[in-house]
Amino acid sequence: MERLDKVIASALNVSRNDARNFIKKGLVTVNSQTVRDIGAKVDEERDELFYNGKKISYSKFVYIMMNKPKGVISASEGRGEKTVIDILPQDMKRKNLFPAGRLDKDTTGFMLITDDGGFAHRILNPKNHIPKTYIALLDKPFNDEIIEEFERGIELKNDSLMPAKIKPLDSEYLTARVTINQGMYHQIKRMFAKFSITVLELKRISMGVLNLDDSLGEGECRYITPNELYLIENGKLL
């Protein structure tokens, strides 16, 4: 059991004081009963909480899938620039959320936002071989030689990259589906740049075997279900 005001404060990303005021004002219901007792406790596993009629999530950790738009940075603090955390809907915001991994400012697509540091570490650790797949639009065509080089693992400056998969999505070889297991700075752009090819557009479409939900417009997000979470860490590509 956990104190209701603490749960509300954490779930709504407000102070304990604000949470107590919401409770006193009768804005909080637990299992359809208005609770005005600021000392009340709730069962985190079972009780259903509503704030102002809207169901609130108060699980220990949350996992959010965002279709990242261009122009926002994947960081928690933007120092003047808008971040993926800034554009979360108000009712999804809570303390300690951060993006698990980086996408460049001009990259779009699947951004996972969580407050579970252990999970983020596991899915980003190259040793765990959790694939991340992107669609890249290129200024010049690639070819079978480049496919082989990517599959062997190329050298970038002082780094030897792990093997990456690349597949043409059009007959001109100008759109590529690229799967990597690492997340090095500007990795895909640098991989193509090695062959004097510029990436014009980049979108991440999956993490593990979980695809970006195509009903999410740019900037939209939704919670990831426990089954989907399992797929990211344990799903196997067929």
Name the DSSP letter for residue 213.
P
**What's the N-to-C CA distance of the chain in angstroms?**
42
Distance between CA atoms of residues 190 and 196, nearest Å: 9
Contact pick of 41, 70, 189, 194 for ligand URA (by CB under 6 A): 189
**103-162 positions binding ligand URA, by CB under 6 A:** 103-104, 107
CA trace torsion 98, 100, 105, 106 (10° rounding): -140
Task: Count the Cβ atoms, other than its own, within 10 Å of residue 98.
Answer: 19
Closest separation in Å from C-beta 71 to ligand URA:
13
Interhelix angle 117-124/226-234, nearest 10 degrees: 40
- For residues 148 and 164, the answer to whether their CB atoms sit within 8 Å is no
Query: Which of the ranges 75-83, 102-110, 220-228, 229-237 carries the binding residues for ligand URA, by CB under 6 A?
Result: 102-110
Q: Where are the alpha helices (DSSP H) in the chain?
A: 4-12, 16-24, 117-124, 144-152, 187-193, 226-234
Helix (H, G, I), strand (E, B) or coil at 207: strand
Please identify, using beta-carbon distances, which residue of 1 and 193 lies nearer to ligand URA.
193
Closest separation in Å from C-beta 106 to ligand URA:
8
Please identify, using beta-carbon distances, which residue of 50 and 195 lies nearer to ligand URA.
195
Catalytic residue among 47, 86, 104, 213: 104
Contact pick of 9, 30, 188, 232 for ligand URA (by CB under 6 A): 188
Closest separation in Å from C-beta 202 to ligand URA:
5
Contact between 186 and ligand URA per CB under 6 A = yes
**202-221 positions binding ligand URA, by CB under 6 A:** 202
Please identify, using beta-carbon distances, which residue of 91 and 219 lies nearer to ligand URA.
219
Contact between 197 and ligand URA per CB under 6 A = no
Please identify, using beta-carbon distances, which residue of 41 and 102 lies nearer to ligand URA.
102
Please identify, using beta-carbon distances, which residue of 89 and 153 lies nearer to ligand URA.
153
Please classify residue 215 by burial: count the beta carbons closer than 10 Å to its beta carbon, then call 0-12 exposed, 13-18 middle and 19+ buried: exposed
Residue 104 is among the residues annotated as catalytic for this protein: yes
The radius of gyration computed from the CA coordinates of the chain, to the nearest angstrom, equals: 21
List residues with catalytic annotation: 104
Residues in the site for ligand URA, rule: CB under 6 A?
Answer: 103-104, 107, 186-189, 202
